[in-house]
């Protein structure tokens, strides 16, 4: 049924190709592609392998992967319930809370970093209390990198998933409720399966945002090879002295990120079709 | 061909400007400069000049009311990188010699940059020095959180030289990309100590406590300034450089902020 719908949609689109859509669309595609081609053309291919196999590059990649995957996990386990709370108007003033969720998208990431310092730094509102009690502080540790990435990535998942939950057929949920299913059971058996594509899309978006995160990280977590220096920080640091290294590192990050996206896609696509018979 | 001509012309103008500079005393307005048409020059300057250069520019503008200066502050390397990309600036002022020589080698600035100030390093601690640091030896302890500049930027190279002169081995918790970021971490009380230029510590006022390093154990960094070759405002640019180097007022402003004689 899902496949049929797609076929019909494709056929009707194939029939008419209005230039008013095609031309601006192609311009957008070119706009996205040209800088990528330019950076590939600029790459120091001769020394590429040497640069990307340096300890600095490998350490930065390791930190980036650990931090972005952890952040995506945190975003998932806290963001999905938040999306449900917003979609189902659980709290008074849903519109206000929804606007609040978007704030990290509006803030310049550096400002997010400053705000995180005020909250979770060792003299911060919450961080000061944690530091006095345990001696632990988020800045200058990978925990700080994960926290910064989670903060900036959360809105991407919440917005995506909330929209999907809102579009779930309430009648089915209500019917299940009439039959005596608990709210939790309804959420697990009806809501979650029907929003599976949005869950994947939201998590992938959040992860991608976490991978590219720079400003909040350098402001909140600092920049030290082997502990807080992620790929974007390594790229920016390299840019100060060696443009070739910076470009090679950027390409390395791009290749790894795209490879992971492609792998995820082939893994999730069949599952997605089974959920929508 | 066109490019070559533009280069000849700018070279000619530069030589003219240099000739003018020799008969300007430094403390009297130069009539040739005063007669220049109304213009605004853009100066790309190292982050550590953020506080002092606008004050010098104001004094310069008082002497030559038709000449105004606006600034583009940043890490010295980033400024050179911008020049490579064709940034429309008239003067480059860097916090280190290697960065200026990179710009000279690239052919983006005049091959004869001038020295105009020197700086030294200090330990900046949060107000009141809560960790009780007294010297560079003290920040070697793993319990002391120290912020330094990354070795990719001038203040990081200077810090590395400082540590090697003092024979200390410090494990920082962060390597920031410019000296103001190190200072920021100290002011926010996120670290116990930061290695910064004397002038940055002074600009922070009471927000930091400064631990000085004895002169015989300290290092000196050099500030250089040069005109940008592609600039169409060579005379005004050279006038600003002469003013920064030679005028008593500019040099006394530099002293007030802690910069040493070139």
pLDDT at A252 over 90: yes
Name the residue with tokens 């793993």: B142
Closest to A245 in 3D by CA, of A52, A104, A17: A52
Using CA atoms, how far apart are residues A263 and A270, in angstroms rounded to an integer?
A: 13
CB contact under 8 A, B190 and A122: yes
* Domain span at A156: 57-275
DSSP chain B: -HHHHHHHHHHHHHHHHHHHHHH--SSS--HHHHTSPSEEEEEEEEGGGTTHHHHHHHHHHHHSTTEEEEEEEE-HHHHHHHHHTT---SEEEESSHHHHHHHHHTT-B-S--EEEEEEEEEEEEETT-TT---SGGGGGSTTS-EEEE-TTSHHHHHHHHHHHHTT-----SEEESSHHHHHHHHHTTSSSEEEEEHHHHHHTGGGEEEEE--GGG--EEEEEEEEBTT-S-HHHHHHHHHHHHH-HHHHHHHHHTTPBP-
Total of domains in chain A = 1
A180 CB-near residues (< 8 Å, 6+ apart): none
pLDDT at A277 over 50: no
Highest mean pLDDT among A179-188, B11-20, B113-122: B113-122
Using CA atoms, how far apart are residues A5 and A155, in angstroms rounded to an integer?
A: 30
CB atoms within 10 A of CB A39: 14
pLDDT at A239 (0 to 100): 83
Any idea what the Cα angle at residue B129 is, between residues A221 and B218, rounded to 5°? 90
Asked whether residue A234 is assigned to any structural domain, the reply reads yes
Question: Is the torsion defined by CA of B230, B232, B237, B239 positive or negative?
Answer: positive
Q: Which residue of B has its CA nearest to A128?
A: B190
Using CA atoms, how far apart are residues A209 and B94, in angstroms rounded to an integer?
A: 35
Instruction: Please give the structure tokens belonging to residue A22.
Output: 């095609």
Asked whether residue A152 is assigned to any structural domain, the reply reads yes
Asked whether residue A27 is assigned to any structural domain, the reply reads no
Overall average pLDDT of the B197-204 stretch: 92
Q: Which residues of A touch B177 (CB under 8 A)?
A: 218, 223, 236-237, 240
Burial of A176 (0-12, 13-18, 19+ CB in 10 A): middle
Residues of chain A with pLDDT > 90, as a percent, come to 69
**B15-61: per-residue pLDDT in tens?**
444 444 444 445 788 888 999 999 999 999 998 898 899 999 999 99
- A256/chain B closest Cα distance in angstroms: 26
Q: What is the CATH number of the domain that holds A211?
A: 1.10.3720.10
Using CA atoms, how far apart are residues B196 and B199, in angstroms rounded to an integer?
A: 8
pLDDT at A12 (0 to 100): 54
Instruction: Please give the structure tokens belonging to residue A78.
Output: 């806290």
- B150/chain A closest Cα distance in angstroms: 8
pLDDT, chain B, mean: 89
Q: Testing the interface with B: which of A241, A247, A249 to mutate, by most B Cβ within 10 A? A: A241
Asked whether residue A51 is assigned to any structural domain, the reply reads no
Asked whether residue A48 is assigned to any structural domain, the reply reads no
pLDDT at B154 (0 to 100): 87
The upper half-sphere exposure of residue B83, i.e. CA atoms within 13 Å in the direction of its Cβ, equals 35
pLDDT at B86 (0 to 100): 87
Domains of chain B as residue ranges with CATH: 2-117+221-256 (3.40.190.10), 120-220 (3.40.190.10)
Q: Which residues of A touch B152 (CB under 8 A)?
A: 237-238, 240-242
Asked whether residue A42 is assigned to any structural domain, the reply reads no
CB contact under 8 A, B152 and A121: no
Asked whether residue A44 is assigned to any structural domain, the reply reads no
pLDDT level of residue A13 (50, 70, 90 thresholds)? low
SS (H, E, C) chain A: CHHHHHHHHHHHHHHCCCHHHHHHHHHHHHHHHHHHHHHHHCCCHHHHHHHHCCHHHHHHHHHHHHHHHHHHHHHHHHHHHHHHHHHCCCCCCHHHHHHHHHHHHHCCHHHHHHHHHHHHCCCCCCHHHHHHHHCCCCCCCHHHHHHHHHHHHHHHHHHHHHHHHHCCCHHHHHHHHHCCCCHHHHHHHHHHHHCHHHHHHHHHHHHHHHHHCCHHHHHHCCCCCCCCCCHHHHHHHHHCCCHHHHHHHHHHHHHHHHHHHHHHHHHHHHHHHHHCC
pLDDT at A3 over 80: no
Instruction: Please give the structure tokens belonging to residue A27.
Output: 């311009």
pLDDT at A222 (0 to 100): 93
pLDDT at B20 (0 to 100): 44
Q: Which of A225, A240, A242 sits opposite B177 (nearest CB)?
A: A240
- B104/chain A closest Cα distance in angstroms: 16
Asked whether residue A11 is assigned to any structural domain, the reply reads no
Using CA atoms, how far apart are residues B96 and B113, in angstroms rounded to an integer?
A: 12
- Mean pLDDT lowest for which of A72-76, A201-205, B238-242? A201-205
pLDDT at A264 (0 to 100): 74
Q: Are B239 and B179 in contact (CB under 8 A)?
A: no
pLDDT, chain A, mean: 88
ipTM (interface pTM) = 0.76
CB contact under 8 A, B188 and A123: yes
Overall average pLDDT of the A146-154 stretch: 97
Q: Which residues of B touch A241 (CB under 8 A)?
A: 77, 152-153
Overall average pLDDT of the B89-99 stretch: 94
Question: Is the torsion defined by CA of B174, B180, B186, B189 positive or negative?
Answer: negative
pLDDT at B107 (0 to 100): 95
Q: Which residue of B has its CA nearest to A122?
A: B190
Q: Which residues of B touch A223 (CB under 8 A)?
A: 150, 174-177
Q: Which of A121, A224, A243 sits opposite B175 (nearest CB)?
A: A224
pLDDT at B252 over 80: yes
Chain B within 8 Å of A134 (Cβ-Cβ)? no
Q: Which residue of B has its CA nearest to A120?
A: B190
Q: Which residue of A has its CA nearest to B192?
A: A122
End-to-end CA distance of chain A: 6
**B217-236: per-residue pLDDT in tens?**
999 999 999 999 999 999 99
Name the residue with tokens 């509102």: A125
pLDDT at B21 (0 to 100): 45
How many CB pairs below 8 A link A and B? 56
Using CA atoms, how far apart are residues A266 and B160, in angstroms rounded to an integer?
A: 49
Instruction: Please give the structure tokens belonging to residue B151.
Output: 């070795």
Q: What are phi and psi of B124, to 5 degrees?
A: -100, 135
Q: Are B15 and B39 in contact (CB under 8 A)?
A: no
pLDDT at B145 (0 to 100): 95
């Amino acid at each position: 049924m899902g496949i049929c719908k797609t076929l019909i949609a494709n056929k009707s689109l194939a029939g008419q190709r209005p230039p008013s859509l095609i031309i601006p669309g192609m311009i957008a595609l070119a706009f996205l592609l040209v800088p990528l081609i330019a950076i590939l053309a600029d790459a120091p291919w001769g020394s590429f392998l040497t640069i990307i196999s340096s300890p600095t590059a490998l350490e930065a990649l390791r930190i980036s992967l650990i931090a972005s995957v952890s952040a995506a996990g945190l975003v998932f386990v806290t963001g999905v319930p938040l999306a449900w709370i917003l979609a189902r108007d659980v709290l008074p003033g849903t519109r206000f809370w929804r606007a609040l969720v978007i704030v990290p998208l509006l803030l310049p990431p550096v400002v997010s970093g400053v705000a995180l310092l005020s909250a979770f730094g060792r003299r911060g509102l919450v961080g000061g209390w944690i530091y006095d009690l345990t001696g632990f502080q988020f800045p200058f540790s990978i925990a700080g990198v994960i926290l910064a990435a989670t903060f900036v990535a959360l809105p991407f998942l919440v917005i995506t998933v909330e929209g999907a939950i809102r579009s779930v057929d309430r009648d089915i949920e209500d019917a299940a409720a009439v039959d005596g299913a608990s709210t939790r059971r309804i959420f697990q058996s009806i809501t979650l399966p029907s929003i599976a594509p949005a869950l994947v899309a939201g998590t992938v978006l959040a992860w991608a945002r976490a991978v590219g995160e720079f400003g909040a990280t350098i402001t909140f977590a600092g920049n030290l090879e082997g502990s807080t220096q992620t790929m974007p920080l390594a790229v920016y640091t390299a840019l100060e002295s060696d443009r070739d290294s910076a470009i090679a590192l950027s390409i390395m990050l791009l290749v790894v990120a795209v490879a992971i996206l492609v792998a995820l896609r082939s893994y999730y696509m069949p599952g997605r079709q089974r959920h929508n018979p | 061909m066109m490019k070559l001509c533009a280069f000849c012309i700018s070279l000619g103008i530069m030589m003219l400007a240099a000739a003018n500079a020799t008969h300007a005393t430094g403390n009297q307005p130069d009539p040739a400069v005063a007669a220049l048409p109304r213009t605004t020059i853009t100066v790309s300057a190292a982050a550590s000049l953020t506080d002092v250069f606008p004050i010098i520019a104001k004094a310069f503008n008082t002497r030559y009311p038709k000449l105004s200066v606006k600034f583009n502050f940043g890490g010295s390397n980033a400024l050179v990188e911008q020049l490579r990309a064709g940034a429309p600036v008239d003067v480059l002022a860097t916090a280190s010699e290697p960065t200026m020589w990179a710009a000279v080698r690239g052919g983006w600035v005049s091959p004869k940059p001038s020295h105009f100030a020197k700086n030294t390093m200090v330990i900046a601690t949060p107000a009141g020095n809560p960790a009780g640091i007294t010297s560079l030896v003290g920040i070697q302890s793993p319990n002391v959180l120290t912020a330094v500049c990354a070795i990719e930027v001038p203040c990081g190279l200077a810090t590395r030289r400082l540590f090697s002169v003092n024979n200390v081995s410090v494990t920082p918790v962060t390597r920031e990309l410019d000296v103001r970021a190190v200072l920021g971490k100290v002011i926010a009380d996120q670290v116990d100590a930061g290695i910064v230029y004397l002038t940055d510590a002074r600009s922070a006022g009471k927000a930091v406590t400064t631990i000085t390093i004895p002169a015989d154990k300290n290092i000196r960094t050099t500030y250089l300034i040069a005109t940008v070759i592609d600039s169409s405002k060579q005379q005004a640019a050279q006038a600003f450089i002469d003013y920064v180097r030679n005028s008593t007022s500019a040099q006394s402003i530099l002293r007030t902020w802690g910069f040493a004689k070139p």
